Amino acid sequence: MEQKKPKSRVAEKKNEVVASLKNFGTRIYDQLDKGVFPTISMPSRSTENIHYDPHLRQFILGDKSVSRSARNIRHVKPFTQLSWAAMFSNELTTQRKTSTLRDVYYSAQAYNMTFKDQQESNNIITDLETVTGYSREDFNIFPEERSAVFGDLTIEYTVPGYEGKTLNLTSHPDGVLIGPALTSSEFTHTTADKVIAIEKGGLFTRFIEENVHKKHNALLVLTAGQAPRQTRHFIRRLHDELNLPVYIFTDGDPWGMHIAMVIISGSANAAHLRELNTPDAVWSGVWATDIVNYKLPTDPLDDVDIKRLYELQKDPRYQNDPLWQREIKTFLKIRKKAEQEAFSRYGLTYIVDEYLPTKLKQTT
């Protein structure tokens, strides 16, 4: 099998992140030192400033910017919170510690910086992302959700205590958690030639049991529902650094379809960030047309499903590829949905032996 020498970005990026935080602090410090009220400006995240960029194939923020001034009574508190969040993130990244959004909320209290609630502290972290252009995972602030990866990829840790240690991602049959240690690792070696992202844990386990990673020479990624941002970024790295094509398998319903879309084109909430999406990834199934072609057992679409389909039909992310419009129309026509497990009607291995190879070929 062909071996690849991946290009590393991890260490380089860490330095950029720390520099951007320091730069942010210095800007405020210099203004205060000159005896003026510090102000900062950042792109506006209001809905009217979020645009879909067909070229980048993701949402981006427009030209509108908002400015925060410490002289404004309504800004001074969030301004302080933002400075605190920057300092806290700086400590995390330089001391190589990780934290969660919940942690952030509580840590602020140690500085007598209370947040009204979790939402307020989350917003401040999003502000910090907008100001610096880096996502919170870059500041070592991770969400609670976890997803997993399995396959022949050897990584090298950069987290304290593990520096230089390597791990092959086939070493644990349940897969390896996509957590802070993994996402900050360098990719050193792989024999895989594709990535398969799977929505559900049951199918992920089935694929491992059935040796899909060997049979199809693939890295398997469990998104566990809507993929967390760090997982989306991880998939992007697998694609960019290892040049692997990405195939996504979800349930055959509007929600599964959209899980795939967010991996491909990102979300409006993350319009201020880059590199969380993988524009070249493809949705391989379960399509509405698969439901028809494979005569899968189905449930009827309910009102919420249908409402969602009409929303997605107008969504700019769904305009590029005729595939999406065709599938939406088919869903609306058959008014049915099917889960990935529905293939079990043809036996437990049918999905691996028959469906998967067919679809991989079809979407390559």
Partner 1 sequence: MAQATFEEISASDFFYRNRDIAGFTNPSRAIFAAIRELVENSLDAAESQKIPPDIYVRLSFEAEATKDTQIYKLRVEDNGSGIQPRFIPSAFGQVLYGSKYKLKQMRGTFGLGGKMAVLYGQITTHQAAYVTSSTGQAKIYSFKLMIDIQRNRPIILDRKVLINKDQWRGTIVEFSLEGDYLRAMPKILEYFKQTAMVNPYANLTFVDPKGRLYKFTRATTEMPEPPKETLPHPYGVDVELLQRLIQITPYKTMAEFLKYHFHRVGDITAQKFLDFSGVSPSKNPKRLSHEEIVRLMQNLKRFKEFLPPDASCLSPLGEELLRAGIQKELKPEYLVVHQRKPSTYAGHPFIIEVGIAYGGEIPKKGSFVLYRFANRIPLLYDEASDVSFRVINSMNWRRYKVSPDMPIAIVVHICSTKVPYKTVGKEFIADRAEVRREVANELREVARQLQHFLSKREHVDREKKRLGIFAKYLPKIAQFSASLAGKEKLPDVDKLIKSVQKYGAEET
- Which is catalytic among the residues 52, 105, 106, 350? 106
CA-to-CA separations, 104 to 148, 183, 224, 228, 337, in angstroms, rounded:
24, 20, 24, 18, 40
Dihedral of alpha carbons 113, 117, 121, 127, sign: negative
Asked if residue 331 binds partner 1 (CB under 8 A), the reply is: no
Contacts of 67 (CB under 8 A, 6+ apart): 39, 40, 41
**Closer Cβ to partner 1, 23 or 119, answer by number:** 23
**Closer Cβ to partner 1, 55 or 74, answer by number:** 74
Nearest one of 220, 179, 181 to 360, comparing CA atoms: 220
Asked if residue 132 binds partner 1 (CB under 8 A), the reply is: no
Please say if 111 is a catalytic residue: no
**Closer Cβ to partner 1, 90 or 231, answer by number:** 90
Min separation Cβ 38 and partner 1, Å: 7
CB atoms near residue 5 (< 10 Å): 9
Asked if residue 28 binds partner 1 (CB under 8 A), the reply is: yes
Min separation Cβ 123 and partner 1, Å: 17
**Closer Cβ to partner 1, 23 or 269, answer by number:** 23
Decide: 338 and 291 in contact? Cβ < 8 Å.
yes
DSSP one-letter string for 12-53: HHHHHHHHHHHHHHHHHHHHHHTTS--EEEEE--SGGGEEEE
Decide: 189 and 8 in contact? Cβ < 8 Å.
no
Asked if residue 177 binds partner 1 (CB under 8 A), the reply is: no
**Residue 278, phi then psi, degrees to nearest 5:** -125, 90
Residue type, 305: D
Asked if residue 79 binds partner 1 (CB under 8 A), the reply is: yes
Asked if residue 29 binds partner 1 (CB under 8 A), the reply is: yes
Rounded to a whole number, what is the distance in angstroms from the first to the last CA of the chain?
20
**Number of chain residues interacting with partner 1 (CB under 8 A):** 31
**Residue 293, phi then psi, degrees to nearest 5:** -65, -35
Asked if residue 33 binds partner 1 (CB under 8 A), the reply is: yes
Asked if residue 72 binds partner 1 (CB under 8 A), the reply is: yes
Asked if residue 86 binds partner 1 (CB under 8 A), the reply is: yes
**Closer Cβ to partner 1, 1 or 73, answer by number:** 73
Instruction: Name 307's bridge partners.
Output: none
Min separation Cβ 151 and partner 1, Å: 40
In 62-200, which residue ranges form alpha helices assigned H by DSSP?
76-95, 101-110, 118-132, 180-183
Among 6, 17, 24, 336, binds partner 1 (CB under 8 A): 24
Asked if residue 105 binds partner 1 (CB under 8 A), the reply is: no
- CA dist., res. 39 & res. 28, Å (int): 7
Asked if residue 348 binds partner 1 (CB under 8 A), the reply is: no
Asked if residue 99 binds partner 1 (CB under 8 A), the reply is: no
Residues at the interface with partner 1 (CB under 8 A): 21-22, 24-26, 28-30, 32-33, 35-38, 70-74, 76-77, 79-80, 83-84, 86-87, 90, 111-113
Catalytic residues: 106
